[in-house]
Amino acid sequence: MSRTSKDPWLPYRFAGEDAKVSLAAIDPAAKPFSGGSKKQDKERVDALALELDELQNLFYADRRYRLLVVLQGTDTSGKDGTLRAVFGRMSPLGVRTVAWRAPSESERAHDFLWRIHWQVPSAGEFVVFNRSHYEDVLVPVVHGDIDKAEAKRRFAQINDFERLLAEHRTVILKFMLHISKDEQRQRLQERIDDPAKRWKFQRADLDDRKHWDDFQRAYERAIRATATPWAPWIVVPADSKTHRNLMIATALRAALKSLDLRYPDDDPAVASIKVQ
C-alpha cells in the first residue's frame, strides 16, 4: 500500500512509521471505500467474501504463512457482524475464531500473553481474535487497575510478542472498528427493544459506555504504541456496517494478494499414479 497523496488507506492505516492516529479526526460515518450505492457495496462484499474463501484455500495449501486478524472496538462496534460477512463464506475448516473474555483466575496467574500464545495460528491457518490481548491494557487502564508505566511495559511486551509471530511468517492485521457514541446508543437501544436480541444486552455495556471518552483515549494510546510495520492497525469507520465489511475485506484481500501464495510443489511421480 503506497503512500501517494491519493492512497485511500493513508488516513486509516498505521504502521508506526509516520502519522500518529487521532480518533477524533476520523469520521466514523466516512465511507472512503464505497463504490456508490449501498447495494453495490453489498454485492462487492459478497464477491470479496467468495474470493477470500479461495485465497484461504490456497493459503492453507501453501502452508508457509499464518494469518492473525485482530478485531477490536467498543460494544456493538460490529465485531460479530464482520466475522459473518467477511469470513462467513470460508469453510469452517479454514478459519478459527477466538472470542476473548475477561481472564479467569487461573489465567490471571500467568502473564497476560500466556493464554493468547496458545491460540495463535499454526501453518496455513486463519485465526480471528474477537477482542484480544489489547483488552488486557485497554480495560485495566480505563478502570485504573494499572498505571501508565505498566501500560507502557505491556505495549512493549505486545510489540515483542507480535514481532515473534511475524518473524515466524504470521501476517498480522489489527482492525479497530470505529463507531460514534450516538451510533452505539442506537445499537444498544435496538438490542433492548428487540426481544430476540435482548439476551445479548448486558448491563455492564452501559457502565463501559459511561467511560466512552476514556476508552477512546485508551484506544488512541494503544494504537500509537503498537502500530508497527509487522503488525499495523487499521482504523475502520464503522457506523455503516456495509462499509465496515467492505473496508476490512478489501484490506484482507490486499494483504493476501501481496504474498506469493502458491500450491506446494508436487512430487513429480504422483501425477502418474493410477489408483487400484
Rule CB under 8 A: which residues touch a copy of itself? 61, 80, 83-84, 87-93, 95-97, 99, 128, 130, 185, 188-189, 192-193, 195-196, 198-201, 203, 206, 209, 263-264, 266, 270-271, 273-276
Q: Which residues pair with 269 in a beta bridge?
A: none
Q: How far is CA 68 from CA 18, 147, 165, in A?
A: 24, 29, 9
Closer CB to a copy of itself, 41 or 75, in the complex = 75
Torsion of CA 174, 47, 66, 258, to 10 degrees: -80
Question: Cβ of residue 189: shortest distance to a copy of itself, in angstroms?
Answer: 5
Question: Cβ of residue 94: shortest distance to a copy of itself, in angstroms?
Answer: 9
Closer CB to a copy of itself, 24 or 275, in the complex = 275
Dist. CA 109–CA 113, nearest whole Å: 11
Question: Cβ of residue 209: shortest distance to a copy of itself, in angstroms?
Answer: 7
**Residue bearing cell 488512541:** 220
Residue type, 141: V
Q: Which residues pair with 170 in a beta bridge?
A: 66
Closer CB to a copy of itself, 224 or 253, in the complex = 253
Closer CB to a copy of itself, 109 or 270, in the complex = 270
Question: CA-based angle 23:28:34, to the nearest 5?
Answer: 125
The residue among 24, 70, 31, 74 whose CA lies nearest residue 188 is 74
Are the beta carbons of 164 and 117 closer than 8 angstroms?
no
Question: Cβ of residue 181: shortest distance to a copy of itself, in angstroms?
Answer: 10
Closer CB to a copy of itself, 56 or 228, in the complex = 56
Question: Cβ of residue 245: shortest distance to a copy of itself, in angstroms?
Answer: 13
Closer CB to a copy of itself, 34 or 57, in the complex = 57
Question: Cβ of residue 34: shortest distance to a copy of itself, in angstroms?
Answer: 24
Q: How far is CA 157 from CA 1, 61, 71, 225, in A?
A: 27, 32, 19, 11
Grid cell, residue 137, equals: 491494557
Dist. CA 31–CA 25, nearest whole Å: 14
